[in-house]
Amino acid sequence: MRLNPFGRIYLTDPAAMWRRILDDPDGVQHAEDLGLWLISRHAHVRRALSDPATFGNSLTLAPVYEVCPEALSVIMRLDVPPTTVAADPPVHPRTRRALRATFANTPDRVEAAYGAIVRRRVDQLVSRLAARSGQRVDLVREFTSELPLLVVLDILGVPDTDVDRIRIWADGQIALIWGQPDPVEQVRLARGLLEFWHYCQDLVRQRLDSGRDGDDYICRALAYRDDDDEVLTVTEVASIAFNLLVAGHETTAGLLAHALDQALSQPHRWREMAADPRCVPAFVAETLRFAPAIDGWLRVTQRDVTLGEVTIPAGARCLLLIGAANRDPSVFAHPDRFDPHRTDVADQLSFGHGPHFCIGAALARLEADVALTGLAAAIPGLRLTPGYRRSFKPNVAFRAHHALPATIDVTTPVDGPTAPPAAPAEAHAA
Ligand code: HEM
């Protein structure tokens, strides 16, 4: 068994690969061509996520391939201090404390701090789509990748006018680090990333110049810092903004696209959602398990470690296959079946586990719940274009749809046969 994250199977049906990897007697393999150790079992992935003394985060944001010298010289100019996702102790606990104090991360706090923003943006995008009844749209371009970006920009106090360039920079960062760009593309993306970093530094500088009296996230982080570099430096505030602008949108965009794909591929599911929005949270939870927006994540070993029968040496990069762990049959009943009624869904690892557990999990769930509820209520006849075939962007970490072509129909469909359009990649799903 050999994992080719850029091969046809993984880009159309990653679950087929996860099943084969999980069937391997060791559950841990060294992929020499990728230079990565692959960890697939739930217990091993969970351990790696939650044991920073053995599995560190320092290389999480370093490209997974050998970068060409010209791109590398640009990347070397990125003087972003590690915070949260790229940091290990003692920096991680300190910057994590800052994030927990300044970014709402429980359902109640998220509802109070960001609920109005999420509802306003969902209403705006849903009304725009509903006004186009009878037309074909790409739900990725016009909804799933749009909503989380607008929400995170509102939270950070970034003007709407910058939405397009931030989208390009953030997409570029994901392709540069976890994708497979050719050398010309690497240079272009690396330059974009440097511009993005300077842009984030400017966002912070503008607030410092204007007396930091706004109520956006960056002002809150500066107030928390209270001019004390031991608490947080100004550059670390820029680094946190830089991370939030990517983490806050690409991930939730993936969750929304996977949820819509699952719901619309089986039209009865969409009808149920339109008829009874109370089923939405469980549907979102099962989407997170079944089709995680981040299905592979990186760690580097700080010392030799033995998992099962396999010893991974110190200094090795590991790809934690969250997608495979979420389908481990020793944890999940009928793991390859999409089942919103399952009772074991809470064991999924899609938001990580332990000290780096996703700070935006509650926000992502709120966005997905409000978005699906609003869309199903306004466009109950929404359907995927017949012949639609699922395919994902080449990436070892982020599982993002290329497109979700659909037809807008605001009328309520009459109950009828529920045959999905062609989506052979998951013919095994219930
Ligand atoms: C479906 C949506 C999301 C998914 C699947 C997701 C996934 C993850 C995962 C797997 C981690 C753990 C990283 C690790 O262990 O190294 C993580 C951490 C993080 N996430 Fe999310 N995330 C999502 C949404 C968000 C949102 C909306 C935000 C903020 C606006 C966010 C901000 C962060 C941050 C700052 C961290 C780093 C926490 C730390 O290192 O202490 N995420 N996320």
414: pLDDT confidence band, cut at 50, 70 and 90?
low
Task: Please report the pLDDT score of residue 148 as a whole number.
Answer: 98
What is the helix (H) or strand (E) element at residue 298, kind and residue range? strand 297-301
Task: Please report the pLDDT score of residue 70 as a whole number.
Answer: 98
Mutate to test the pocket of ligand 1, among 174, 216, 240, 358 (most ligand atoms within 8 A of CB): 358
Write the DSSP symbol of residue 291: S
Reported as a single tens digit per residue, the pLDDT across 189-208 is: 999 999 999 999 999 999 99
382: pLDDT confidence band, cut at 50, 70 and 90?
very high
What span, in angstroms and rounded, lies between the C-alpha atoms of 193 and 187? Answer: 10
Residue matched to tokens 């470690």 = 305
Residue matched to tokens 């970034």 = 158
Report, as an integer, the average pLDDT of 374-399: 96
Report, as an integer, the average pLDDT of 280-301: 98
Task: Please report the pLDDT score of residue 416 as a whole number.
Answer: 54
Residues with CB under 6 A from ligand 1: 49, 57, 60, 84-85, 96, 99, 152, 243-244, 247-248, 251-252, 255, 292-294, 297, 350-352, 356, 358-360, 363-364
Q: How many CA atoms lie within 13 A of 54 on its CB side?
A: 16
Task: Please report the pLDDT score of residue 415 as a whole number.
Answer: 64
Domains and CATH numbers, the chain: 8-426 (1.10.630.10)
What span, in angstroms and rounded, lies between the C-alpha atoms of 248 and 183? Answer: 28
* Phi-psi category of residue 358: left, alpha or beta, with phi > 0 → left and psi -120 to 50 → alpha: beta
Report, as an integer, the average pLDDT of 175-179: 97
Share of the chain above pLDDT 90, in %: 90
Tell how far CA 381 is from the center of its chain: 28
Reported as a single tens digit per residue, the pLDDT across 229-261 is: 999 999 999 999 999 999 999 999 999 999 999
What span, in angstroms and rounded, lies between the C-alpha atoms of 191 and 197? Answer: 10
Amino acid at 110: V
Q: Which residues pair with residue 29 across a beta bridge?
A: 38
In this structure, the number of other CB atoms found within 10 A of the CB of residue 14 comes to 23
Beta strands in 302-384 (DSSP E): 305-307, 310-312, 317-320, 383-384
Average pLDDT over the chain, rounded to an integer: 94
